[in-house]
Amino acid sequence: MRAFGGHGLVVADLVDTLRDTITPTDGLSLVAEHDGQIVGHVMFTRSLLDAPRRLVEVQVLSPLAVMPEHHKRGVGSTLVRNGLKTLAERAVPLVFVEGDPGYYSRFGFAPGGAQGFRKPSLRIPDGAFQAIGLPEYKPWMTGTLVYAEPFWRHDAVGLRDPGA
Ligand SMILES: CC(C)(COP(=O)(O)OP(=O)(O)OC[C@H]1O[C@@H](n2cnc3c(N)ncnc32)[C@H](O)[C@@H]1OP(=O)(O)O)[C@@H](O)C(=O)NCCC(=O)NCCS
């Protein structure tokens, strides 16, 4: 997990735990290969949206990583677009991500707050909390994103303030 620098071990542990939650029909783990080597990886796993009508199963994109020497060649974009396409085919209504809007907006992700969603932690900057509705999305699907337990167990939600 060199792509994540000093945060790499937390992400590696998170990946190990999330991998166990993925089944052939729920969640996705995609890799990009170059010359027989894995150069990029993305995961999508299930979390819940606490909507007024009922709990809705949604997917969270995390993590996404590309080996530094393969950046800016479209690897990350290809992984994200392929993932979203597969999830749309599986009738997943919504995908959430915590990340830089400068990057994720190109795929159609937009700030979650403006779409009627509440972030699962105050430690997530408003702009970083993003969502994209896929074809099965319905307007009644609003509410708070409830991260699956592994994100909390690995303290992989939002930003920590060591001085607080
Ligand atoms: C973010 C990341 C996955 C992008 O992978 P990539 O394969 O280089 O992405 P692509 O080639 O599809 O897209 C590259 C474009 O995204 C831009 N980009 C990359 N990171 C960005 C960011 N944080 N904010 C805005 N733009 C960003 C690049 O400048 C480049 O722009 P260009 O198309 O105008 O040249 C990769 O930089 C990475 O692994 N970073 C470290 C881990 C990380 O931050 N993961 C995301 C956690 S939310």
Domain ranges of the chain: 2-153
Q: What is the DSSP letter of 107?
A: G
Indicate the pTM of the whole model.
0.95
pLDDT at site 10: 86
**Confidence at residue 131, expressed as pLDDT on a 0 to 100 scale:** 98
Residue found by looking up tokens 């994209």 in the block: 132
- What pLDDT is attached to residue 4? 77
The pair phi, psi for residue 82, each rounded to 5°, is -65, -40
Residue with CA at minimum distance from ligand 1 atom 23: 100
Mutation test residue for ligand 1: of 9, 67, 72, 98, the one with most atoms within 8 Å of CB:
72
Closest residue (by CA) to atom 29 of ligand 1? 72
The letter for the amino acid at 52 is P
* Residue given tokens 């969603």 in the structure block: 117
| Ligand 1 site, residue 14, Cβ cutoff 6 A | no
pLDDT along the chain (164 residues), means of 10: 72 95 97 97 98 98 97 98 98 98 98 98 98 98 98 96 88
pLDDT reported for residue 2: 66
In this structure, which residue's CA is closest to atom 5 in ligand 1?
76
2-153: CATH class? alpha beta
